Amino acid sequence: MEASVLTQVILPLCLFIIMVGMGLSLVVADFSRVLLYPKAVILGLIGQLLVLPLCGFLIAAFFVSDPVLSLGIMLLAVCPGGTTSNMVTHLAKGDLALSITLTAVSSLMTFVSIPLIMAFAFEYFANEASHFELPVLQTIGSLFLITLLPVSLGMLIRHLKPGFAIKAEKHLNRFAMVFLVVLVIGVGAKQHEVLIPALQQVGPSVFMLNIATMMSGFVIARRFRLNTAQTTSISLEIGIQNSTLAILIATTLLNSPDMALPSAIYSIVMFLSAGFVIGLRSRSSNTATTEGTDSAVTQ
């Protein structure tokens, strides 16, 4: 009973609150930017909604033998970045407006894209994971309640009470970070008996997914000649996933803590790679500033 209350009430409620916090950070202009620089937004969405799931599928199919962990990889890959990606983009001196726009649009699309892509994943891995079944309509309804509805509510509050929204957003962002840490620790503790074997089996694949997606974002952005700030944003948006949402879907809708393990592991890996990008961008920015100062002095 306690487990049911935790997974069916407390965890979804916490995610609802987190998604309201995301909505508090959004305004209509975040969506209208699609018209202002459509190329960057379209490339970012293609990366999040197509390239990311494709990378997840290839890695799950060829490098993960356990079908449950394979589905966990796929579930992770169809949950594009939340507010965490916006925070990391800001620290990495990326295009924050682009990051927020991508987060806003992709978050509103996930309640449709997640069930569709995961239905394919379940069909593909059905031979070995037939005891799992994806309740498509229930998934769509649940995702609407814990993504689209709270984000819309947050945006409404931001429109009606902008001062309150800005103050509340900061507190909810802190809550989101603490909640993710507690959630990862909780999944690890609950699944401690299978954590080490799962880490050995899926750890390299999770790391591979993180590197492959970030590099894909970088290559796509550079190939279409986006600037450095936009390239940074797209790389991080594709490489940082909404692990909280993936864990909650695995533990609530699918009732499979094992399926949540890849997302828990990814939560650690993505912050390590994000830290590397932040450090790299900071060093690059400092170098450019120093060179500019030296040039001015010389002149």
pLDDT in tens, the chain (299 residues): 445 566 667 777 887 888 888 788 778 777 777 777 789 999 999 999 999 999 999 999 999 888 889 999 999 999 887 677 877 887 888 888 888 888 888 877 887 888 889 888 988 886 654 556 666 677 777 777 777 788 889 889 998 999 999 889 888 878 877 877 777 777 767 766 767 777 788 889 999 999 999 999 999 999 999 999 999 999 999 988 888 888 888 888 888 888 888 988 888 888 888 888 888 888 776 655 444 444 443 44
Residue 72 lies in a domain: yes
How far apart are the C-alpha atoms of 54 and 70, rounded to whole Å?
13
Supply angle C-alpha 257, 273, 89, rounded to 5: 100
Structure tokens at 203: 């750890």
Residue 75 lies in a domain: yes
Residue 174 lies in a domain: yes
- Judge contact between 23 and 153, C-beta under 8 A: yes
| Domain region containing 196 | 2-281
Tokens 């695995």 appear where? 250
Structure tokens at 166: 């800005």
So what's the pLDDT on residue 2?
Answer: 44
Cα separations (Å) of 147 from 139, 144, 197, 219, 299? 11, 5, 33, 30, 55
Residue 249 lies in a domain: yes
Residue 297 lies in a domain: no
- Could you report the per-residue pLDDT of 219-236, keeping only the tens digit for each? 999 999 999 999 999 999
Q: What is the CATH number of the domain that holds 87?
A: 1.20.1530.20
Residue 296 lies in a domain: no
So what's the pLDDT on residue 267?
Answer: 84
Backbone φ and ψ for 80, nearest 5 degrees, come out as -65, 165
So what's the pLDDT on residue 134?
Answer: 66
- Provide the domain count of the chain: 1
How far apart are the C-alpha atoms of 121 and 133, rounded to whole Å?
11
> pTM (2 decimals)?
0.79
Contacts with 184 (C-beta within 8 Å, 6 or more apart), sequence order: 243, 247, 264, 267, 268
Residue 298 lies in a domain: no
So what's the pLDDT on residue 84?
Answer: 76
Residue 131 lies in a domain: yes
